[in-house]
Amino acid sequence: MFNILIADPLSEDGIQPLRNADNMNIVIDTNLTPQELEEKIGEFDALLVRSQTQVTRNLLSKASKLKIIGRAGVGVDNIDLDAATEHGIIVVNAPNGNTNSAAEHTMAMIMALSRKIPQAYNSLKNRKWDRKKYIGVELKNKTLGIVGLGRIGAEVAHRAKGQRMDIIAYDPFLTKEKADNMGIGSGTLQEVLQAADFITIHTPLLKDTRHLLNTEAFQLMKPGVQIVNCARGGIIDEDALYEAIVSKKVAGAALDVFEEEPFLDNKLLELPEVIATPHLGASTIEAQESVAIDVCEDVISFLTVDSVKNPVNLPSVPRDVLSKIEPYFHMAEKLGEFLIHLTEEVVEEINVYYSGELSAFEVSPLTRNTVKGLLKRHLGNHVNDVNALYLAERRGITIHENKTSTAKGFTNLLKVEIKTKSEKRSVSGTLLNGLGPRFVKVEEYSVDFTPKGHIVVIHHKDQPGVIGKMGSLLAQHDINIATMQVDRSDIGGNAIMILSVDKHMENEELAILKSIEEIKEVFAIDL
């Protein structure tokens, strides 16, 4: 049974997938104080939030069972992603479900701002019939500057074109060609700020975007510019905006988001030029149902089959690439798991070689799985897809990926090599059609075995009688050999035996094998 905590209000229809799934114990508590949440979080496998709950490093340090955080929305600035990654907790969001709603809200804000609708409404509610005070401006032929042309920014552009506005956008990923195709202009941030009559922000809140609109930015703008922020508080420096409005540089601002939320005691609210909503961009029935369904499906899928559609702290792999590399996932992990048992020294370097058809793919998920397999021996189940590379890096292990198109007679070959202070060990595997993973090389020796069950690797001297001695000693201890592979460097030289046996080998049993003079090293590996 998985315990799921829903800590912010989610659409009841949207959480139906969770209710319908087996083994999910859902607790909905949207009124927890930060302290109460800290006290409870240790019981839960999954946490579902919106923008309200602050998922801090401190909270995560108490989340001993937590495996996944689902953000029913886009922005994840309320979640300490580094801490989640370090704890091996995957974070998923719902990037597409509220795009329309946020874009529509932005348009509503632009129109309300341009026609002073909230101010006129308030005045009328106060029984004043004032037709002179609330003169607006048309949007037609005005320039809308869009900062951040992602999903929402692009939807706003399409809608604003319907209002016959001219659009100019700035986004680090916006090419002139893409802007031309959308029928909009593009420019640098400075050009956009200088050209626009209305400016709307649609970036995430990041280190680079914090106070993107500050005193200097306001100075660049046209007098009488109007500002809209339905993205995140903190992208606009609120003190600078206040000054710009008071000095009449900025004629008006429409704000859905604030540096501190919830906020009521903010001097911006005292200005008649400021209209505001309490972070309602995504608050529609449709968006809430859609984002809740998306995160619930990812939570179920992660807890049951270990895969997600919208990871935030794990690179997402395009579906077509995933279908190509998926068959290798298991083998990549097994190669790592096997190899780490061939050394007792500290691993300093991991090299992963992709040959043949594998070299054509984006293989980083396979490298991650290999590293996960390697680290598991010493870190146990604490290591997972999310934190494997981070944990390796923190231990000072360097990781290299290498690719070649030829695979020495195999269609595909995945070789993993580890380096320690004094030794280098490696293992190679391939995927045989219909037969699954086979390990075909251990160090310089050619072998062929299925990486499954109880494996014993023996390095010995190539001399007559060694195999016989070893076989009869194992027989005396009632250990049955299921399969056996032997290879050697040259006659009478170094050799290897790979046995698969029917039970786990205890240390005393391994010691018996090590007592055979010609045997140099013995490793037992349970895969």
- Name the residues annotated as catalytic: 232, 261, 279
Which of 22, 127, 140, 173 is close enough to bind ligand NAI by CB under 6 A?
173
Question: At how many degrees (to 10) do helices 151-162 and 99-114 cross?
Answer: 50
Of 51 and 143, nearer to ligand HPV (C-beta) is: 51
Of 93 and 186, nearer to ligand HPV (C-beta) is: 93
Q: What is the CA radius of gyration of the chain?
A: 31
State the DSSP code for 346: P
Of 149 and 371, nearer to ligand HPV (C-beta) is: 149
With 0-12 / 13-18 / 19 or more C-beta atoms within 10 angstroms meaning exposed / middle / buried, residue 3 is: middle
Taking contact as CB under 6 A, which single stretch among the options 15-23, 117-125, 151-159, 381-389 is the one that binds ligand NAI?
A: 151-159
Q: Per-residue string for binding with ligand NAI, 209-248, x by CB under 6 A? A: x--------------------xxx----------------
Taking contact as CB under 6 A, which single stretch among the options 67-75, 124-132, 180-188, 429-437 is the one that binds ligand HPV?
A: 67-75
Of 293 and 388, nearer to ligand NAI (C-beta) is: 293
Write out the binding residues for ligand HPV, residues 279-318 only, by CB under 6 A: 279, 281-283
Taking contact as CB under 6 A, which single stretch among the options 24-32, 82-90, 91-99, 307-315 is the one that binds ligand NAI?
A: 91-99
Query: What are the phi and psi torsion angles at 276 (to 5°)?
Result: -155, 155
Tokens of 15: 């959480």
Q: If binding is defined by CB under 6 A, does position 165 make contact with ligand NAI?
A: no
Q: If binding is defined by CB under 6 A, does position 171 make contact with ligand NAI?
A: yes
The nearest distance, CB 279 to ligand HPV, in angstroms, is 6
Give which of ligand NAI, ligand HPV, none residue 230 binds (C-beta under 5 to 8 Å, depending on kind). Answer: ligand NAI
Smallest CA-to-CA distance from 194 within 235, 174, 222, 231 is with: 222
Write out the binding residues for ligand HPV, residues 72-101 only, by CB under 6 A: 72-75, 98
Please check whether residue 294 is in contact with residue 318, taking contact to mean a CB–CB distance below 8 angstroms.
no
Q: Per-residue string for binding with ligand NAI, 278-297, x by CB under 6 A? A: -x-xx---------------
How far is residue 241's CA from residue 223's CA, in Å, rounded to a whole number? 13
Tokens of 480: 């049955």
Smallest CA-to-CA distance from 286 within 162, 520, 101, 107 is with: 101
Please check whether residue 241 is in contact with residue 192, taking contact to mean a CB–CB distance below 8 angstroms.
no
Amino acid at 447: V
Please check whether residue 152 is in contact with residue 107, taking contact to mean a CB–CB distance below 8 angstroms.
no
Q: If binding is defined by CB under 6 A, does position 356 make contact with ligand NAI?
A: no
Which of 22, 177, 208, 508 is close enough to bind ligand NAI by CB under 6 A?
208
Q: Cα torsion at 175, 177, 178, 181 (round to 10°)?
A: 160
How far is residue 11's CA from residue 304's CA, in Å, rounded to a whole number? 23
Pairing of strands 494-501, 481-488: antiparallel
Give which of ligand HPV, ligand NAI, none residue 50 binds (C-beta under 5 to 8 Å, depending on kind). Answer: ligand HPV
Q: If binding is defined by CB under 6 A, does position 172 make contact with ligand NAI?
A: yes
Question: At how many degrees (to 10) do helices 507-514 and 466-476 cross?
Answer: 150
The nearest distance, CB 88 to ligand NAI, in angstroms, is 24
Give which of ligand NAI, ligand HPV, none residue 186 binds (C-beta under 5 to 8 Å, depending on kind). Answer: none
- Residues forming contacts to ligand NAI in the complex (CB under 6 A) are 73-75, 95, 98-99, 102, 147-153, 170-173, 202-205, 208-209, 230-232, 256-257, 279, 281-282
